[in-house]
């Protein structure tokens, strides 16, 4: 029997649920990858969701994510401390604010697109602010 906190102990018993978790993890990882190149899209929450999904779907996928050069350090820090460094939160919030400002200017005169930008940025800001932080 694996230790109570090992990744294999968190593996879901149902094959259907493992497939759904795997698909959710893959989607979250895709969004995280987009967040790396699109400053208005936060990367951290999507990496954490991908890690949570993969730990329930596949120990192999979870281990791969932990070894990934881009996302692995973020996920291992989260698993170790269950928090995000304040510096990372500041950088993310600043990037979202700058991108939102540019997007609002770019879509000036198009209130529907401006509303979509504001809704997306507001959602991202709320998610990032709700993550526990540490110094």
Question: What would the pLDDT profile of 32-87 be if each residue is shown by its tens digit?
Answer: 999 888 767 788 889 999 999 999 999 999 999 999 999 999 899 999 999 988 99
Residue 116: inside a domain: yes
Q: Tell me which residue range forms the domain holding 113.
A: 7-134
User: Could you tell me where the beta strands, DSSP code E, fall in the chain?
Assistant: 84-85, 133-134
Number of domains in the chain: 1
Helix, strand, coil shares of the chain as percentages rounded to 5?
75, 5, 20
Nearest to 57 by CA among 28, 15, 27, 29: 15
Residue 26: inside a domain: yes
Residue 52: inside a domain: yes
The answer to whether 134 and 83 are in contact (CB under 8 A) is: yes
Can you give the length of the chain in residues? 135
Q: Is the pLDDT of residue 4 over 50?
A: no
For the entire predicted model, the pTM comes to: 0.75
Residue 1: inside a domain: no
Residue 2: inside a domain: no
């Amino acid at each position: 029997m694996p230790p109570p906190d090992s990744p294999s102990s968190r593996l879901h018993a149902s094959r259907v649920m493992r497939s759904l978790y795997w698909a959710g993890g893959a989607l979250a990882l895709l969004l995280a990858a987009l967040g790396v190149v699109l400053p208005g899209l936060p990367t951290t929450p999507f990496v954490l969701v991908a890690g949570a999904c993969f730990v329930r779907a596949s120990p192999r996928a979870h281990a791969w994510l932990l070894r990934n050069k881009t996302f692995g350090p973020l996920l291992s820090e989260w698993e170790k401390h269950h928090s995000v460094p304040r510096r990372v939160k500041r950088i993310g919030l600043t990037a979202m604010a700058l991108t939102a400002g540019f997007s609002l200017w770019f879509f000036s005169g198009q209130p529907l697109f401006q509303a979509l930008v504001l809704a997306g940025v507001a959602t991202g800001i709320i998610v990032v602010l709700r993550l526990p932080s540490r110094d």
